[in-house]
Amino acid sequence: MYPCNRQQPLPLTRRQMLRQGALGFGAVALTALASDFARAADASVRNPQSAIRNTPIPHFRPKARNVIFLYMDGGVSAMDSFDPKPLLTREHGQPFKMKMEPTQFNNNGSTLGSPWKFRSYGQSGLPVSDLFPHIATCADDLALIRSMTSNFSEHTGANYFLHTGSGMQGRPSMGAWVGYGLGSESRNLPGFVVLNGGLIPPGGLDNFNAGFLPATYQGSIFKSTGEPVANIQPLERSAGLQRAKLDLVARLDAGRLARGDGGRADDAIESAIANYELAFAMQSAVPELMDLAGESAATRSLYGLDAPYDKTRIYARQCLLARRLVERGVRFVELTCPSIPPNDRWDAHQNLRKNHSENALAVDQPIAGMLKDLKSRGLLDETLVVFSGEFGRTPFAQGSDGRDHNPFGFSLWLAGGGVKAGTIYGATDEYGYKVVDGKCQIHDLHATMLQLLGLDHKRSTFRWGGRDMRLTDVHGELITDILA
């Protein structure tokens, strides 16, 4: 069984309780288990041949239970952050010496040295640039991959690829796959939450969709301002009015069930009733989640909620919410970046210095704060934190002071559960243009993430369109060197 006591057993009397309807609305919710009902919606669309069973059990003992995916929309430059290239500085301004592949804008300039200095940090001596002074203090917690590649040098294709393992629209997002494979541990929150800091990446909401998996697994967007979740706010003038209404609904539904023959025919109706219980519970769980009043002043300032830069404060809130979601058993949390106009995300086609400085200022302290907070609460061991963009940036300039997209070699890091901290894996050439050692694909990242969560990526399948589909398609090799 899953080594976790956050799940609770299913009451044997659920069916009777539903059919009697006598307890009124909400009573059943106390004993209902979201994932169970979500899966039972309709027998005809269950997937009996799929390798994952209806009551999901991991394939091996998991190292991590949750994922926090820090999505660096637009693509962070590796040679300005985690992959120092002194040769770039030496040849700054000279014509670029390697053969240049076609780029997105085809407006290639000369070799561009990094405006930032690198220093070594921690016992591991991991080099980090001055862009990320706070994350640098967590150097010994990071497993850095410097040899990631993507198949797409254009945002949308690369975004879909990073999120779904395919460059085209319509495949399930990794969060959906994880939910499908492991179920949810939260009884009143969805299993896959996207904390929208302000930027929905190119490709739109399909980056977070369930694709051909049941809609149950689709990412729920939580906004940082206004109503956090769609339709979470009751429109009745008081909670009592809604409660009375739902009590009536429960009685009428019980009447409908009583008129049935008691067989399997009404399974779907039972599931739909239970689904209301979950929705009702969510109505109170979400505001409770979003309310940070109970967090101490020290915690708040650790994350940067009191930082002078307003974008830092936005991302600090996101990171703190990520921790709170993980505490509540939400499987997969993805954070999108705050909007920092006139920068277009991390997509520094011009004025690299300003773009990366401002973006880094927004996310650096909150991320470091979150890593430390998770660690001090003992949560980092069971949470996998991943920091990645969809690709990197070119070592040569776009125009005079920007960098174009570079899918041929870029850096990302992982931290937390099951990760070999303080390691560096793979290498790019001396310009940071292409991978020369330990070449990884996005599929390898996915395979490794699933592995850490206890899932064999080759066995995590869903039959659709005549194939047992996988997040990793027919690819994916574990990046064993970064596993603890």
Partner 1 sequence: MRLSVTILALVIFSVRGLAQDEPGVQFFEARIRPILADHCYGCHSAGAKKLKGKLFLDSREGVLKGGETGAAIVLGRPEQSRMIEAVGYANVDLQMPPKEKLSDRQIADLTAWVKMGAPWGKGANAAAAATTTTVTKVDTFNLAKRRASHWCWQPVRVQAAPPVHDTAWPRSDIDRFILARLEANHLHPAPSADRRTLIRRVYFDLIGLPPTPAEVEDFVKDAAPDAFEKVVDRLLASPRFGERWGRHWLDLARYAETMGHEFDFAIPNAWRYRDYVIRAFNADVPYDRFLTEQIAGDVLPEPRRSPDGDDESIVGTAFWFFGEDVQAPVDVRQHQADLFDNRIDVFGKSMLGLTIACARCHDHKFDAISTADYYALYGYMKGMRYTQAAVNDRSIEEGARRLDGVKRSLRRAVATKWLAHLDSLVGPLRLTLPADCEDAATLRAGDAPLPGSWFAQGAGFGACEPGDFVVDGDDRHPVVAFPVPSIAHSGLRSTKLEGYFRSQTFTIDKPYLQVQAAGNDARLNVVIDNFVVIRDPIYGGLRRPIKSPTPAWITIDLKMWQGRQAYLELADCSISDPGGPPAPRDGWIQFEQALLSEHASPPRVRSATEKLDDPLPLVRSSLEQWRDGRLAQSTDARRRAAILGEALRKGWLDAPAHDPGIASILDEYHRIEASIPAPLYTPAAADGNTDDEHIFIRGNPKTLGPVVGRRLLTALGGDAEPSRGEPGGSGRLELARRVTDPANPLTARVMVNRVWHHLFGRGIVASVDNFGALGERPSHPELLDYLAHRFVHEDAWSTKRLIREIVLTSTYRQSAAAAPGVGDSAMKSDPTNTLLYRANVRRLEAESIRDLLLSVSGRLDLTMYGPGVQVHLTPFMEGRGRPDRSGPLDGNGRRSIYLDVRRNFLNPMLLAFDTPTPFNTMGRRSVSNVPAQALILMNDPFVLEQAQLWARRALADKSLPPEARLTRMYESAFARPPTQDELRDLLAFIDEQGQAMNVAADQRATNLSIWTAVAHALVNTKEFIFLN
Least distance between partner 1 and beta carbon 128 (Å):
25
The answer to whether residue 296 forms part of the interface with partner 1 (CB under 8 A) is no
Interface with partner 1, residue 300, by CB under 8 A: no
222: β partners: 195
Of 93, 95, 125, 262, the one binding partner 1 (CB under 8 A) is 262
By the rule CB under 8 A, 234 interacts with partner 1: yes
d(CA 195, CA 358) in angstroms, rounded, equals 20
Asked if 246 interacts with partner 1 (CB under 8 A), we say yes
Stretch that binds partner 1, among 9-17, 62-70, 219-227, 386-394 (CB under 8 A): 219-227
Of 399, 310, 410, 408, nearest to 348 (Cα)? 399
Shortest approach of partner 1 to residue 255 CB, angstroms? 6
Q: Which of 452, 446, 455 is nearest to 477 (CA)?
A: 446
Q: Which stretch binds partner 1 (CB under 8 A): 55-63, 243-251, 358-366, 445-453?
A: 243-251
Q: Both ends of the chain: CA-CA distance in Å?
A: 23
Q: How many residues bind partner 1 (CB under 8 A)?
A: 97
Closer CB to partner 1, residue 152 or residue 303?
A: 152
Instruction: By CB under 8 A, tell whether 241 contacts partner 1.
Output: yes
Question: Does residue 292 contact residue 304 with C-beta atoms inside 8 Å?
Answer: no
* 287: contact with partner 1 by CB under 8 A: no
- Give how far the C-alpha of residue 324 lies from the chain's centroid of Cα atoms, to the nearest Å: 14
Within 312-351, the residues that bind partner 1 by CB under 8 A are none
Applying CB under 8 A, the span of 80-88, 175-183, 272-280, 291-299 interacting with partner 1 comes to 272-280
Q: Assess 9 for contact with partner 1 (CB under 8 A).
A: no
Rounded least distance, CB 482 to partner 1, Å:
16
Among 29, 32, 38, 455, binds partner 1 (CB under 8 A): 38
Q: How many residues does the chain have?
A: 484
When binding is defined by CB under 8 A, the residue of 3, 9, 226, 378 that contacts partner 1 is 226
- Residue 16 contacts partner 1 per CB under 8 A: no
Assigned token pair, 39: 């899966």
Long-range contacts of 464-470 (CB under 8 A, 24+ apart): 464/212, 465/212, 468/49, 468/50, 468/51, 469/171, 469/212, 470/165
- Least distance to partner 1, CB of residue 79, Å: 18
Judged by CB under 8 A, which of 69, 71, 132, 280 binds partner 1?
280
Minimal distance in Å, beta carbon 443 to partner 1?
14
Residue 22 in contact with partner 1, rule: CB under 8 A: no
Name the minimum Å distance from CB 436 to partner 1: 7
Q: Is 124 near partner 1 (CB under 8 A)? A: no
Contact mark string toward partner 1, 453..482, x via CB under 8 A: ----------x-xxxx--------------
Stretch that binds partner 1, among 5-13, 111-119, 155-163, 411-419 (CB under 8 A): 155-163
Residue 72 touches partner 1, criterion: CB under 8 A: no
- Exactly one of 118, 276, 315, 431 binds partner 1 (CB under 8 A); which one? 276
Give residue for tokens 């009447």: 255
* Site mask for partner 1 (CB under 8 A), range 77-116, x = bound: -------------------------xxxxxx---------
In the window 158-197, what residues touch partner 1 (CB under 8 A)? 167-170, 190, 196
* CB of 423 vs partner 1, minimal distance in Å: 18
Q: Considering only residues 31, 50, 124, 242, which one is a binding residue for partner 1 as defined by CB under 8 A?
A: 242
Interface region with partner 1, contact rule CB under 8 A, candidates 111-119, 153-161, 385-393, 452-460:
153-161
Nearer to partner 1, 347 or 373 (CB): 347
